[in-house]
Amino acid sequence: MTFSIVARSADGASWGVVVASRFLAAGAVVPGARAGVGAIATQSFANLRYVPDGLALLADGLPAQQVLDRLTAADGLRAQRQAGVVDRHGGAAAFTGDECISWAGSTTGPDHSAQGTCLAGPGVVDRMSQAFIASGGTTALARRLLAALVAGDDAGGDRRGRQSAGLLVVTEGGGYGGGSDVAVDLRVDDHVAPVGELGRLLGLHELHFGEPEDLRLLEGGTAAEVDALLRRLGHDGDQPLDDRLAAWAGWEDYEERLVPGSMDGLVLGKLREAAA
């Protein structure tokens, strides 16, 4: 009834899970991840203890396959469970119980495992795995996971239909202001096109919380333009330009993209739009 992929980034700095299902708020149930430890997805007739217990085993240093072996061995309903795990080293493993709704199965590869139940066919997980690999190791993990989910959805996904999707990525210090390890945590709980909507939300997340890019010094012509645009928007006091820019950016939720003394090209474009 669900398809997902668990993965580690090629540089070993991030772990994550992306999921879609014809099930309400699958993103609240399926994924779990911990920076420096690994990631896990629990689905089919999901055992929610697999997430905390599995992450604890991963934190103890057990490889992915041993984690699944321990989780399922202690579970009297394992025939109805499905799970995927990736460990801190990128080792991946999956388990599909004999009583999961067909088609049910998985495909594992470097740094990832794709799995699903009640799917249109094995092509769903195969396409997910292929898309993850093809996305390349230098692409952000959130984007690689989304590419895999789109591929699985295009291949038929959950044969009951579409309802929800979720994306979780963890990186040490990757959260807002560096205050947590949760770099991305997005959910579409009930939508006619949840995978597409998840992509839209990820785009907004990158816009507001992405790393600064196309930086230019806040001096000369750039400074003059920013000053004029800010004054047009009412930020025309005597404070330094950096302070007035920070006030506007904070109001618009672009503060994560600011670098003192510099101007992010994307934020400059948004400033131009706002002042037009």
Mean pLDDT for 98-118 is 97
pLDDT digits (tens, 9 = 90+) for 143-194: 999 999 999 999 999 999 999 999 999 999 999 999 999 999 999 999 999 9
Q: What is the pLDDT of residue 85?
A: 98
> Does residue 268 surpass a pLDDT of 90?
yes
Task: Tell me which residue of 88, 81, 82, 30 sits closest to 59, measured CA to CA.
Answer: 88
Mean pLDDT for 64-68 is 98
Q: Distance between CA 37 and CA 56 in Å, rounded?
A: 9
Task: Tell me which residue of 60, 73, 116, 68 sits closest to 93, measured CA to CA.
Answer: 68
**Residue 101 binned pLDDT confidence (cut-offs 50, 70, 90):** very high
Task: Tell me which residue of 63, 72, 11 sits closest to 37, measured CA to CA.
Answer: 63
Q: What is the pLDDT of residue 208?
A: 96
Domain-wise residue ranges, the chain: 2-209, 216-275
Q: What is the pLDDT of residue 209?
A: 95
DSSP string for residues in 206-247: HHHHSPP-S-EESSHHHHHHHHHHHHHTT--SSS-HHHHHHH
Q: Enter the tokens of residue 219.
A: 């001096």
The mean pLDDT of the chain is 97
Cβ atoms of 168 and 188 closer than 8 Å? no
Provide the residue type at 60 as one letter: D
The two beta strands, 14-21 and 2-8, are antiparallel
Percent of the chain with pLDDT over 70: 100
> Does residue 65 surpass a pLDDT of 90?
yes
Q: What is the pLDDT of residue 163?
A: 98
> Does residue 137 surpass a pLDDT of 90?
no
Q: What is the pLDDT of residue 196?
A: 98
2-209 CATH, one of 3.30.1490.20, 3.40.630.30, 3.40.640.10, 3.60.20.10 = 3.60.20.10
